[in-house]
Amino acid sequence: MVRAMLSFVFVMSLWSNAAAAMLCARKATGGRPQGNVTIRETCRSKEVQLDPVALGLQGPAVYDAAGKKVGDITEFQGGTLFIFFRLNQFSFPLEVNQNGTFYALSGAGNNFLYFESTDCTGTPLVRAQNPNTFAPSSSISPPGQTLYTADPQITPQLIGVRSMINRDPPCVTLQHLENSYHVPAIALGDLSRLFAPPFHVR
């Protein structure tokens, strides 16, 4: 029960903070840990860093055909795998299947890319993140399976959008101007180029 609760807290902390997190405990005589476990960006001088794997907090993960780790499994439901994925300084919950197809689980409520133009050209936008969710705004869209997320340096603004695109072309032109809070999106990389299917669990 304690391990399950620590695992949940550890994963939630990573989702809400893109910086690397550590499990820390007070250092006893001989350097062995004792007392309560705390999550910090850096352990204090009188603390020792704990290994999540040694504590049994790291479960099975998804790997690609070359043995490269894709992400830790957070949930398995009805044949669908959900993983915790990190790229650069960003962290995302994603859905993935065996053939290497990824799906964004955006904290904005949908995973579309939006545009102010009518033909999906210009600066891509994502909906502003729901403040009640840990998951960041994200989209997996062309070219390939490019992962987009909201530019963290820009504050959400009320922007009228006229077209949108998701995983598969063609571009969809909206019948009416849609005004809502959006943020310019940055492309982090094409996931289909980073990982080679088929995927497996171990």
Task: Give tens-digit pLDDT for 2-20.
Answer: 344 344 444 444 444 434 5
Six-digit token string for 193: 């180029």
What is the widest separation between alpha-carbon atoms in the chain? 69
pLDDT value at 21 more than 60: yes
Six-digit token string for 25: 């405990």
Mean per-residue pLDDT, 22-36: 83
Instruction: Give the whole-angstrom CA distance, residue 173 versus residue 35.
Output: 58
pLDDT value at 131 more than 80: yes
Nearest to 108 by CA among 139, 154, 74, 75: 139
Mean per-residue pLDDT, 23-50: 86
**Tell me, what's the pLDDT at 158?**
97
How many Cβ atoms from other residues are within 10 Å of residue 27's Cβ? 18
Mean per-residue pLDDT, 28-49: 85
Instruction: Give the whole-angstrom CA distance, residue 20 versus residue 12.
Output: 13
**Cβ pair 84, 128 in contact under 8 A:** no
pLDDT value at 53 more than 60: yes
pLDDT value at 108 more than 50: yes
**Tell me, what's the pLDDT at 66?**
97
Instruction: Give the whole-angstrom CA distance, residue 94 versus residue 120.
Output: 24
Instruction: Give the whole-angstrom CA distance, residue 151 versus residue 138.
Output: 10
Q: What is the pTM of this model?
A: 0.73
pLDDT-derived band at 77, boundaries 50, 70, 90: confident
Q: Which long-range contacts (CB under 8 A, 24 or more apart) does 125-132 make?
A: 125/159, 125/161, 125/182, 125/183, 125/184, 125/185, 126/150, 126/182, 126/183, 126/185, 127/180, 127/181, 127/182, 127/183, 128/156, 128/180, 128/181, 128/182, 128/183, 129/156
Give the torsion through C-alpha atoms of 182, 188, 194, 197, to 10 deg: 0
Six-digit token string for 134: 């840990």
**Tell me, what's the pLDDT at 9?**
43
pLDDT value at 106 more than 50: yes
**Tell me, what's the pLDDT at 176?**
93
pLDDT-derived band at 195, boundaries 50, 70, 90: very high
**Tell me, what's the pLDDT at 20?**
55
